[in-house]
Amino acid sequence: MRKIWRSAIQDVVPYSAGKPLDVLAAEAGLGSLVRLSANEHPVGPSPRVIRAIVREARRVHLYPDGGATKLRVALAERLGVASEQIILGNGADELLALLAWAAFEPGDEVAIPHPSFEPYTTVVAIAGAVARLSPLAGYDTDLDDMRRQVTDRTKAVILCSPHNPAGTIVRRQPLLEFLRALGPEPPLVVLDEAYRDFCDDPDSPDGVALLATHPTLIVMRTFSKIAGLAGARVGYAVAGAEIIEQLNRVRAPYNVNRLGQAAALAALEDARYWQSTRHLVIEERAFLSRELSRRGHTFPPSQANFLLVKFGPDADAVRERLFRAGILVRDGAALGFPGHLRISVGTREANERLLAAL
Ligand SMILES: Cc1ncc(COP(=O)(O)O)c(C=O)c1O
């Protein structure tokens, strides 16, 4: 028999997106559902972003700027780097795939905290490379163990701070020591900062500030969370220009669509909305944390826009009860944390509805 499909993908399970929100609500006989399961923006994008998308809609018959030039220049200015140090992706998800495509060969190793954001291991598996999983120490990334996972065959180390789904951060000084311990010929180090805008702990590192001294570092960020553009799919990586040049070799010419580029640019320009989202999430995270603690629930301190709450054997029943009250939360078991639920920080109204249902 002619062999068509690559062996490496035979164990990869297709992503199951679940039912759309309106279908779920209709099936459950509920008027509306509040989704606190996907770490989305609690309100939605800024009015300025919506106007930019509407304006741009007239031009959707034209291919987008394949280099996302305006957006890259604006981001470069905001971050204090050169525009050649930035690549845009169809969500940060795509950038992980580009990295795997450009760098990982069968037999290569990639060190990854476990559990963590699932696409890390998926892209490694698709490349036929080997994921070296480093167990979390409780809810924290164990940098000592991560270091021990690094061998001569290691192509990359992936760190996620704030961590999804734990919400914890890698602290600045331990991160610097970890980077130093990788030696003079380090592998690539991906620092996924998808949730960084929600950090208020001064000990939280700024990956972009470390680029000048760590040439193999790749910082990944996204407009999905802070800017409320999850549906527009715009993420970016910041790294040395040579790394970005390699990633550009495997990028499709028009990977970020016209509406996404216009929306992201408008979001960057609307600094006030960006800040107000940050304040809203930090304030509501504190409110939810306080109220959950008061009710005896435990969870690691979160620097992200979600909490990983421990319910023990009741987790499934609690999730079901919340669903009947019109609130969707994420099953921790599916994320490597049985007995937990991952709950996104919502508006005050959504959070109070959640607390009432609990
Ligand atoms: C840790 C982490 N990294 C990356 C992403 C991907 O973000 P994007 O929507 O830009 O693909 C997510 C999305 O949930 C995430 O949680």
Q: Which amino acid is at 318?
A: V
Compute, in angstroms, the gap from residue 166 CA to the centroid of ligand 1. 14
Say if CB 191 and CB 143 are below 8 A apart. Answer: no
Question: Where are the chain's structural domains?
Answer: 7-45+272-357, 47-269
20: pLDDT confidence band, cut at 50, 70 and 90?
confident
Compute, in angstroms, the gap from residue 3 CA to the centroid of ligand 1. 34
Ligand 1 atom 15 nearest Cα: 194
**Percent over 70 (pLDDT), the chain:** 100
Q: Is 346 exposed, middle or buried (0-12, 13-18, 19+ CB in 10 A)?
A: buried
Tokens at 165, concatenated = 């789904």
Ligand 1 atom 16 nearest Cα: 164
Give pLDDT, residue 177.
98
Q: Is the pLDDT of residue 27 over 90?
A: no
Q: Is the pLDDT of residue 17 over 80?
A: no
Give pLDDT, residue 295.
96
What count of other Cβ atoms lies within 10 Å of the Cβ of residue 293?
11
pLDDT in tens, 182-231: 999 999 999 999 999 999 999 999 999 999 999 999 999 999 999 999 99
Give pLDDT, residue 29.
87
Compute, in angstroms, the gap from residue 93 CA to the centroid of ligand 1. 6
Q: Give the pocket of ligand 1 (CB within 6 Å).
A: 39, 91-93, 117, 160, 164, 192, 194, 222, 224, 230, 235
Specify the 3-state DSSP secondary structure of 5: coil
Q: Is the pLDDT of residue 136 over 90?
A: yes
Q: Is the pLDDT of residue 340 over 90?
A: yes
Q: What is the CATH number of domain 7-45+272-357?
A: 3.90.1150.10
28: pLDDT confidence band, cut at 50, 70 and 90?
confident
- Establish whether domains 7-45+272-357 and 47-269 are of one fold: no
Atom number in ligand 1 closest to CA 117: 1
**Domain 47-269 CATH (choose: 1.10.3720.10, 3.40.640.10, 3.30.2310.20, 3.40.50.720):** 3.40.640.10
**Percent over 90 (pLDDT), the chain:** 94
Atom number in ligand 1 closest to CA 224: 9
Atom number in ligand 1 closest to CA 225: 9
Using most ligand atoms within 8 A of CB, pick from 224, 308, 344 the residue to mutate for ligand 1: 224
| 128: Cβ contacts below 8 Å, ≥ 6 apart | 6, 7, 8, 104, 105, 106, 107
